[in-house]
Amino acid sequence: MTAFRAAGFAALFLWAGCVWAQDVTLTSRDGNVEISGDLLGFDGEFYRVDTIYGELTVDGSGVLCEGPGCPDLEAFVAKVTFSGAPTVGRVLMPALLEAFAIRNDYALRRESISENTSVYRMSDRETERDVGAFTFRLTNADEAFADLLSDQADMVMTLREVREEERVRAEEAGLGDLTGRNGSRVVALDALVPVVAPSNPLTELTVPQLTQLLSGEIDNWALLGGVDAPVAVHALAPSSGLGQAMHDVLLEPADADLVEGVVLHPGGPDLARAVALDPFAIGVTSRSETGNAWELGIAGECGFTLRANRRGVKTEDYPMTSPMFLYIPARRFPKLVREFLSYLRDPSAQLVIRRAGYVDQAPEEIAVHQQGDRFANAIAQAGAETSLEDLQKMVSFLTPLKRLSTTFRFEAGSVRLDAQSRFNVQQLAGALESGLYDERRLVFVGFSDSEGSAEVNARISKRRAEAVRQAVVDAAETDDLSRVSLEAEAFGEAMPMACDETSWGRQVNRRVEVWVR
């Protein structure tokens, strides 16, 4: 009886001898209890079975399996299927899988099943026996979550967050809360960037201008000081995660839609190629897939221009950062798969991510002298309520410290941390637990936008800094953080990162940075 997981314990007692003719029948070794159903998976240790009582997980060491669906225990191969964004599944995940195989002395070979499906088979070098099969289905965000709900995929790769209706359906299906602590993971970082042809003289745009171009409100380059020619708008398909992320970030806040006649593309490389060949085209794609197209900076009327360089994306100083999510249901995976998921957090995996052309999440320490533009902008854009004494106090406090690339930002119109920042909480908590910052001083420094009075903004930014500090402390499973000093400080509106005349600029300025000594 101990073979069955507690979640299904009561249900097993209700079994009344009826046989539900399905793939397998599991019988306890004393013969007193048996259950039949569809075998949904076997991880080398546990069976996962869909029964009349719901989905049950059963310890394989305590049962005997009969039926056509029973796995060969001696030739077990760990299997997992990923479905979702080609941007993630085409290059990044295979690169990480190859590095994981090399690290563990496995051989890896790729088999192409179809144009959009590949299987990476991992084998023992000595026996040449397969030990793992990692399948990647290159679909889109909508299809990927549908695959997960229909048991056609085990994990989802996407460039957007799970929608509320998808989260609810997943929870109802017994897959757990995909927005919970263990339900998702940010594998790497990318960014949305506007692109034009190299022959286009434009170098930067404001966010409102970009939205107006995408929606057709600006339909001629002459309206931006260019030649008298119609604008050709290119975009990623609305079913793609990146296309949906673009809509969420640029169009939805302005209550706008893509212009009629927009040229849609299935992926970033296709969009970049088309835009690069058309001097009157503009599009939005991922930073990692700009190809020969020319990337534009994001400007503000107050003089700030932000570009999607590696550091700007990592710190989220660039306003359109796009995390690359891996959504993981609450189910038990084979040991080899669990080891691969653990490897994704390893520092060596962060190096692989960077070499693959994406932005890693390994924390970096940035000295004050490497942040000259930030401090120069703080002086140039200081509001009437920010005195020279305030700026001097801030500079004096921060100069002995170094800024960590880990930054915490908030969802629009909310005090809730955004998706990347929620992951940053777990990542920093883990670093504290591992002793990475033992005998060091970490200061959570809050900043605000300039709406309202400077005094009120200073208080709000201090509360945010204290809240983030507490969130990190709460996430650390160890109770002993006495080896590190954790403080909270705030400087309100003293160091803006973007212009405050737009909602996205104000959102960028509302942040909590981490400084370390």
State the pLDDT at residue 455.
85
Spatial separation of the C-alpha atoms in residues 125 and 398, rounded to whole Å: 52
Spatial separation of the C-alpha atoms in residues 60 and 143, rounded to whole Å: 32
Full-model pTM = 0.78
Give bridge partners of residue 503 from the DSSP assignment: none
Looking only at the bridges linking them, the beta strands covering 294-295 and 184-196 are antiparallel
Spatial separation of the C-alpha atoms in residues 194 and 368, rounded to whole Å: 30
Query: Nearest-CA neighbor of 356 among 324, 330, 333, 378?
Result: 324
State the pLDDT at residue 479.
63
Query: Nearest-CA neighbor of 95 among 313, 351, 420, 346?
Result: 351
**Amino acid occupying residue 36:** S
Sheet holding 204-206, edge to edge: 204-206, 297-299, 305-306
| Residue 482 CB neighbour total at 10 angstroms | 7
Q: How many residues does the chain have?
A: 517
Helix (H, G, I), strand (E, B), or coil: what is residue 437?
coil
End-to-end CA gap in the chain: 55
Counting as low any pLDDT under 50, the low residues of the chain are 1-21
Q: Which residue has the tokens 């030739």?
A: 75
Spatial separation of the C-alpha atoms in residues 79 and 67, rounded to whole Å: 20
Which segments of 43-171 are extended strands (E)? 46-51, 54-59, 63-66, 78-84, 106-114, 117-124, 130-138, 155-158
Spatial separation of the C-alpha atoms in residues 2 and 226, rounded to whole Å: 74
Give bridge partners of residue 205 from the DSSP assignment: 298
275, 283 contact by CB (below 8 A):
yes
Spatial separation of the C-alpha atoms in residues 433 and 19, rounded to whole Å: 50
The proportion of the chain whose per-residue pLDDT surpasses 90, expressed as a percent, equals 51
State the pLDDT at residue 312.
86
Query: Nearest-CA neighbor of 263 among 237, 295, 296?
Result: 237
